[in-house]
Structure 1
Amino acid sequence: MDTMVADPLNGALLDGRYRIRGRVARGGMATVYHATDERLERTVAIKIIHPTYARDNRFLARFADEAKTIARLTHPNVVAVYDQGIHDGMPYLVMEYVRGRTLREILAERRRLEPAEALAVLEQMLAAISIAHRAGLVHRDVKPENVLVAAPPNGSGNLVDAVVKVADFGLARAVEASAEDQHGQLMATVAYVAPELVTGSHVDSRADVYSAGIVLFEMLTGRVPYDGERPVDVAWQHVDRDVPAPSKLVAGLPPLVDELVARATRRDPGGRPMDAGAMLAEVSAAREDLGTQTFVAHVFAQPTMEIAAVDQRPNWARLPGGAAPPTRTMPRAAPAGGRGGRPPLMDNLRARVARLTATERNRRKLLAAAVAIGVVVLISGYWVGIGRYTDAPSLLNLTQANAAAEAKRLGFGMKVGSGIFSDTVPKDTVMQQNPAPGGRLVRGGEITVNLSLGPELYPVPEIAGQLASVGLESLKEHFKVQQINDYSDTLPKGYIISTDPAVGTQLPPGATVKVYVSKGDYPMHVPTVVGKNINEARAILEAEGLVVGKVEYVDNQSRPRDEVLEQDPAQGAGVVKGAKVNLKISNGPPGFPMPDVNNWNCGDAKRELERQNLRVQVQTEGFFGENGNVRGQQPAPGQPVQMGQEVVIQCRLF
């Protein structure tokens, strides 16, 4: 594939994360680039939708829905979707980067594939599409351009060993849905389009089966079954004609591939396999019966064309009585010589047979040869139909390791399937097998086992800090959600603060997860009262509309009595009006007797009491009272007091 270096997006950084390195290909709906995910340091493919569709709000909404569905398709033969976004108004998908070529490029180079290769590619295509069908998704645009083929791991050119991946699930549906108000709109590639898409009938998974059958036809013959001057002519041929057998174009193809093409491409959807999974089973059986025989033929591939709308049938489709157009046939060659026009070859053959059976000895030889041939045919038929098969052993209830050992001991291979959740069967224990115990199995064949995955548990995902409309959707995939709105000084309104249970907790599907969502900043914040006297602290808090909650006295030798040592909530914490603030208060150091300062000069008495770490309040009488003498004190002399305690002295001149 050629990489465009003059593209204006070269070097662009998408979403602060994806650095565009070059253009890979351009299609009818999107352009594909290879890029570097600078956050995870990996190469990815980015499909950017053309501006024509990016301006359609209906398309954007459908595109986002389809992207979420596609991202949940996890399968080795599906091109994984990692992320989605919008760059300069153009939506894009971030996908797995597959190092290889499209099936279209391979067919352009090789013209056609051997039957064994074609079935191996189709088997992996159907495995990917069947996953989508189980998720309720129809691809709607199965064609060689959407099939990526990675080089075989062993380095050979044989595609039997290649890894095949299918891309663009749901993209055609997103485009088509955005144009549903346009009469007769059809978004598909006409060379592969199912008849029901052309006629506007109900479309389901069998449309993908039809398209896969056309792709198989092209892999075997090097061309698509129909062509025409206009795309609409090609589209309606799918409705009005049966797909021809591939062996009519390529001599020597085995009948089983003709049968597969015929089954997949029946014009009536009811005659096809119900979905890609059913078709996959037929293809797997055909591969087993095909063997290693190769077939050689050369035909040239024909290009496919895309049609934007199908609004009328070709003129010939409207002939009276629905008659088809006249067709041209090749003249039959005149028979050569011989009696009654019979070729001389037949006369020679009859003469040789007559000579061989002229004597009794020759007749015995012919009879013995016929019997020997019959015996060989019977033995071969028995082996092909019955003898090469045996009963499948039971691997049920064995651990994976024991099942593999048992299968190997009996001469079979073992393949591990997708697995089944179970609350009763221990994890990694065989729950199902195919073939079932006692079922028909080729000697030395492979048994597919499905292991117990244990109880169906899912971890609570990390969604804190996400917009609620996004994070809640991912959580609802497995859990019920209880949304609780709360204040937050760190997250804007509408963002997720936390979850309960915490992130990573394993829960069964349907469990309830509490999600705390920010409703903005707290309406007020707690002032600091640490270091204040309890009475002063109470006044400050009440002035702010807060309430003193629990008051706890604690021993403290270094701080005065009644001083606030700690507060909860702390200074600056967000709270609502009327919230309680709990305080820890100092009991102060051990007490001592109140000094007797009666008749002292007021100034001297105040200084003495303060020297003993008491807080002094002076009450005066008369104009010169503060310069007078102490005429009373509280507490009385000898009463116990503590450091930091407030005491009172009354001062007057006389």
Structure 2
Amino acid sequence: MVDRTASDPIVGRVLDGRYEVGDRIARGGMATVYEAVDLRLDRPVAVKVMHAGLGDDQDFATRFVREARSAARLSHPNVVNVFDQGDDHGTLFLAMEYVEGRTLRDLLRDEAPLAPARALALLEPVLSALAAAHAAGLVHRDIKPENVLIADDGRIKVADFGLARAISSDTQHTATSGVLIGTVSYLAPELVVDSVADARADVYAAGILLYEMLAGRKPHEGESPIQVAYKHVHEDIPAPSAVVPSIPDYVDALVARATARDCDHRPADARVLLHHVHRVRSALDAGMRTDPELVADLQPPPSVEHTREHTREDLAEVLAVPPSVQAEPPRSPAARPAARTPSRPEAMQPTPPPPGRTRRRGPLVVLLVLLLAVAGGGAAYWFGVARYTTTPSLINLSETAAREKVQAAGLSLTVADRAYSETVTAGSVISTDPRAGSRILDDGTVEVTLSLGPERYEVPALRGESEERARELLEEANLDVGDVTERFHERIAEGVVIRADPAAGTELRRDAAVSLVVSKGRKPIEVRDFTGRSADRAETALTDAGLDVERTAEFSDDVPEGRVISQNPNTGTLYRGDTVRLVVSRGPEMVQVPRVRGVGVAEATERLEAAGFVVRTERSDLYVGLEYVVSSNPGQGSMAPRGSTVTLTLV
């Protein structure tokens, strides 16, 4: 939850003239994190500000600056990105990616314990981030639920690589000024005892994280940090199934492997642990309630106590906790006093055997009984135990390595089968018969199943095939038909595949779905009637619809110039590239008015009608009955529409 602290002097500041600081998000031992806005790029960021006064300590300041450089080296989708680092008048800060959502701690508080499948699904991206860090030579050293961010869109990111350091000889010590870096509930034993860390310390913390998700609580608890640290050093992490009995045995074994107190018994880094997680998830997906072979392969050897008993003072020195506030570490129960054996009274003493022949025969009988017992015991040992040995664990070994290991055990190896596997590389052992840890006769044979690698099938070429044939080809390729989408296509006939997704040649798992896009044939175009409308607009609309347009022009006394006189076709359905013919009006035909001035009305009328005009006459004010034309309207020589009226004025 965001802590809106009005009195915080950092809230409201603009750091380095760029980052406007908003509400406080979280506060840690070394720095406080705020919401902020990058004013230059106008984007939300998270700003981590070192506590006041720590910037004056050169060691702390150096480590804080190194945080930016170390984290900036990581580019991974599950790592919170570091954008910038700066010093604003003595205030050291980092600008980081802002992840809107909640932490794994919030999720555990609301939903724990989690089902094994979900817990492993949450752990996988954390291990992916750590694997990238370990490959870059960095150790996080503070893996805990508070540093696992779950975005609202489901993305998981690991935050606060501020404690990560390069894995080198001069940066192995985890204590700075006597203060151990990290959270005590997730500290590996070697960190507590020897103050050194490598990638296996992150593996241990990830194992504790997994336990907490599965069990809904931390594995070791105490009244003080020293008690918790003492338990991490001297006690194995309990099986989560002790809290949730439904958890499979191989999940218990995974937790035990990751949290082995001897770091040499843990996976070497997060990449190796991630491989084990994939194997366990495969067993879960297969619905296996138990898997002795996987358990035997994952279960670490029993932990051996350290040669020196670490006292609370030892741990206090590493953790920098005053001894006065430490609780006494748990003690072993006191030895019970031996019980006294009462002396037997004489009445209970055995009666001596009678003298004579019976006494001499007694030792012979006893000797014979002993010989028979020894012979029977030897036979039983030979036939029941001595002739047998234990089948070695061969899972994930190559055939050559498995054969060498079997032969070293005095056994022989036979390849009984080969099968596909999503988790075991091609040529390596998937399973054995007998299983690992089972009894097998000396000189016996171990039958192994070798991996063919992941089962993959190529998407066949489907373009140009009918939908029915495409379905047959996918079935032959051990693939399924996914979504089928129909689309118009101008060149591919109806019912024929346009394309497939994924494309031809892509390798997919068995029964994976391939989506098809199938042609609906040419797209029909409904023809609109543009008669009487603007010819230019009609042509634009028809062309945009994919049709060709042919235009011819004619004079028209009825249709204005530039408008459509007729259209063919003017209704129905066409297809792209079909032709629509438009007859466009040129307006009425213009004709020159003939010369009629000074001509008799009869001749003038004849000339005008021959030119296509309608004649109308009127008398002038000086009319005397001569019937000669003195003027015309429109005037002679001007242009007028054919069929229009010419008025003659007579004298």
TM-score (norm 2): 0.46
> Considering only CA atoms, is the larger Rg found in Structure 1 or Structure 2?
2
TM-score (norm 1): 0.46
